[in-house]
Amino acid sequence: MTSPATTPQAAALRVLHVAAEVFPLVKTGGLADVVAALPVAQAELGADVRLLLPGYPAVIESVQGARPVIDIGACFGALRVRLLLGRMPGTALPVYVIDAPYLYRRAGGPYQAADGEEWPDNLQRFALLGWVAAHLAADDADPAWVPDIVHAHDWHAAMACAFVAEHLPTRAASVFTVHNLAFQGLFPMHDWPLLGLASRLMSPAGLEYHGQLSFMKAGLKFADRITTVSPTYAQEIATHEFGCGLDGVIRGRGATVSGILNGIDEAVWNPATDPAIAQRFDAERLAGKVACKRALQAELGLQPDADALLLVVVSRLTAQKGMDLLLAALPELLPQGVQLAVQGTGDPALEAAFRMAAQAHPGRVQVHIGYDEARAHRLVAGGDMIAVPSRFEPCGLTQMYGLRYGTVPLVRRVGGLADTVPDAADPAEGAGFVFEPATPLALGQALQRALALRRNPSGWVALQRRGMGRPLSWRPPAQAYQALYLEALRERRGG
Ligand code: ADP
Ligand code: GLC
C-alpha cells in the first residue's frame, strides 16, 4: 500500500481501464484491440492493472471465475446491478464486469441493435459504466482494490472523469483517451436529470454541446490528462478541420493534451506464429508470404497471377476511411495489373458500390461484406499492399498489421498513418506509399510509384523488410502512459 502523502512508483501503480469493448470478447474496431493489449503491456512493466466492462452477454459468458464484489441495487433504470470480478480469458487480467441485465444483456452490438439503430438507453448504459468506475476510485465499490488511475477510453467511458471530478471524493487521477473524436456520445439535454450531476454543469463550460449533452466533453473537460492515439492526431484535433466542433475545448486544455502512438499486439499479429494463415513467414523467410498470396487468391476466386499487385482492405467502409477514393481510383488501377480484395462493413451505399465493383471485375476484385477475424489475418498475410486512404485516422492499426506482415501500406499522410508509415522515398526508413490530397488522383499516383518499385524485386523486398523491422510493440507506449500517470498523480496529490 502507498502512504497517503506519497505518489506510488510506476511498478505499484493501480490502473483501472474503463472501456466499452475488448478483443476478443466485444469488438467493433481498434479500440477493442488497444484495450486488450495495453493493460497486458502495463502489467508486464509491473503495474497492477484491471479492466471495467459492461456485462454484455459475450462478456458474462467469457470472463473466467467471476464472483460478486458488491450488490449495487437499482440505478440508471436497472433494478438489479451487481459488480463482478473475474479474469480475462487468455491473459488472466482481472476484469470487473457490471452485471446489469436490463441494460446490457441483449442480442445485438455494444452500441446498436442488429438493425443498426442506436440503443435508445445508451445514456443510461454508459453513464452507469462511468459511475461504477468513479465508485471504484472512491473506495466504496471494492475496498480491496482502489485504483490510483482511472483511464477512460472514448465517450463510452468518459463520464467516469466527470463523476470522479465533481461527485465523489477520490485520490485517483483520471486519464481520458480519445480514440475517435468523431463519435461523441450526444444525448438530448432533457435527459440531464438522469445523470445526477450538478445543474451548473448543464452549460457550455460543462457538458453542453450546442444544446445537447455530450459525454465526450465529460472526458475533455474533467480528465486530469487527455491523450489521443498518435502525436499527429493530438495536434490535428486542436484545429478546426479535425476538431469536430471541440477544437476550442481541446485548445483550452493546453499541455494536458498529448499523443501516445498505439502499438500492436505482437502475440496476435505475428506472421511467424499466426495460426490463421496458409504458411508462416518472417522477414528472412518470405517464401511463406508468396504461399499466403497464392492461397488467398485461390480462396477468394481471384486470378492465380503471382505478378498481380494484390491490394487488400480490412476496414469499416465509411467516409472516414476514404473508401470512396479507392472506388473512384479503381478503373485506372485495374488495367495495370492490380487486384483488389476488400473485407468490411459500414455505409450501405459504399457496401453496394464495392459489391458492384466485384461483379464488374470477376477474378480481379473480390469483396466480402462482413466481419471475420481469421479471414482478416489471411488478407493481411496474403496481400502485397494494404490500403488505408483515410480522410482522418486517429491512429489506425491495419497499416501496422500490414507492416508486420510485409504487406506494404498505401496510406494518406494524416493522423497516426503519418506517424507510422514513412514513405518509400526515404531510403533509410521508407516502408510504404504515402499521399497527401484526399483525391483518387493522388491515391492513384502513389500506387503508380508502388507499381514502379515492384519492377525492381530487390528494392521491393528491401521495402518490405524495413516495414517488418519497424518497432511496433506496446512496450514504449506502455512506458509513456506510466510516465503520464505519475505526472498526473503528482499533480493531483501534490507530491
Ligand atoms: P477503426 O478502429 O477506426 O475501425 P483501426 O485500424 O484502429 O480502425 O482498427 C480496426 C480493427 O478492426 C482492426 O483490428 C481490423 O483488423 C478490424 N476490422 C475492421 N473491419 C474488419 C472486418 N470486416 N473483419 C475483421 N476485422 C475487421
Ligand atoms: C479508433 C480510431 C483508430 C484507432 C483506434 C484505436 O477507432 O478510428 O484510428 O486506431 O481507435 O485507438
pLDDT tens column, 69-109: 999 999 999 999 999 999 999 998 999 999 999 999 999 99
Distance (Å) from CA 222 to ligand 2 centroid: 22
For residue 169, what is its C-alpha cell?
471524493
The ligand 1 atom at the shortest distance from the C-alpha of residue 34 is 7
Nearest bound ligand to CA 405?
A: 1
| Non-local CB neighbours of 112 within 8 Å, separated by 6+ positions | 118, 119
Minimal CA–CA distance to 314: which of 30, 16, 15? 30
| Non-local CB neighbours of 38 within 8 Å, separated by 6+ positions | 17, 263, 474, 477, 478, 481
Identify the band that residue 495 occupies on the pLDDT scale cut at 50, 70 and 90.
low
Q: Tell me which of 226, 265, 395, 411 to substitute to probe ligand 2's pocket, judged by most ligand atoms within 8 Å of the beta carbon.
A: 395
Residue 439 Cα distances to 120, 207, 443, angstroms: 37, 36, 6
Identify the band that residue 166 occupies on the pLDDT scale cut at 50, 70 and 90.
confident
Distance (Å) from CA 25 to ligand 1 centroid: 14
Residues linked to residue 98 through DSSP beta bridges, in sequence order: 54, 83
Quote the CA–CA distance of 99 and 69 in Å, as a whole number. 11
Taking a C-beta distance cutoff of 8 angstroms, is the pair 132, 156 a contact?
no
| pLDDT tens sequence across 341-357 | 999 999 999 999 999 99
Identify the band that residue 139 occupies on the pLDDT scale cut at 50, 70 and 90.
confident
| Rg value, the chain, Cα | 23
Minimal CA–CA distance to 313: which of 365, 389, 387? 387
Instruction: State percent of the chain over pLDDT 70.
Output: 98
What amino acid occupies position 469?
Answer: G
Identify the band that residue 339 occupies on the pLDDT scale cut at 50, 70 and 90.
very high
| Chain-centre distance for alpha carbon 353 | 26
What is the pLDDT, as a whole number, of residue 433?
98
Nearest bound ligand to CA 400?
A: 1
Residues linked to residue 368 through DSSP beta bridges, in sequence order: 343
Residue 156 Cα distances to 6, 91, 125, angstroms: 31, 24, 9
Atom 10 (ligand 2) nearest CA: 396
Assess whether the C-beta atom of 130 lies below 6 angstroms from ligand 1: no
Nearest bound ligand to CA 313?
A: 1
Quote the CA–CA distance of 171 and 148 in Å, as a whole number. 7
Identify the band that residue 170 occupies on the pLDDT scale cut at 50, 70 and 90.
confident
The ligand 2 atom at the shortest distance from the C-alpha of residue 393 is 9
What is the pLDDT, as a whole number, of residue 169?
79
Assess whether the C-beta atom of 393 lies below 6 angstroms from ligand 2: yes
Q: What are phi and psi of 439, to 5 degrees?
A: -135, 150
Assess whether the C-beta atom of 180 lies below 6 angstroms from ligand 2: yes
Assess whether the C-beta atom of 449 lies below 6 angstroms from ligand 1: no
Q: How are the residues of the chain apportioned to helix, strand and coil, as percentages rounded to the nearest 5? A: 40, 20, 40
Task: Confirm whether pTM is higher than 0.85.
Answer: yes
Using CA of residue 224, residue 10, residue 49, residue 472, what is the dihedral sign?
A: positive
Quote the CA–CA distance of 64 and 93 in Å, as a whole number. 10
What is the pLDDT, as a whole number, of residue 145?
97
| Non-local CB neighbours of 386 within 8 Å, separated by 6+ positions | 311, 312, 313, 314, 380, 398, 399, 401, 402, 407, 408, 409, 410
4, pLDDT greater than 90: no
What is the CB-side half-sphere exposure of residue 133 using CA atoms within 13 A? 37
For residue 49, what is its C-alpha cell?
492493472
Minimal CA–CA distance to 185: which of 211, 155, 212, 206? 155
For residue 416, what is its C-alpha cell?
497516426
What is the pLDDT, as a whole number, of residue 1?
34
Whole-number mean pLDDT of the chain? 96
The residue written with cell numbers 512506458 in the block is 479
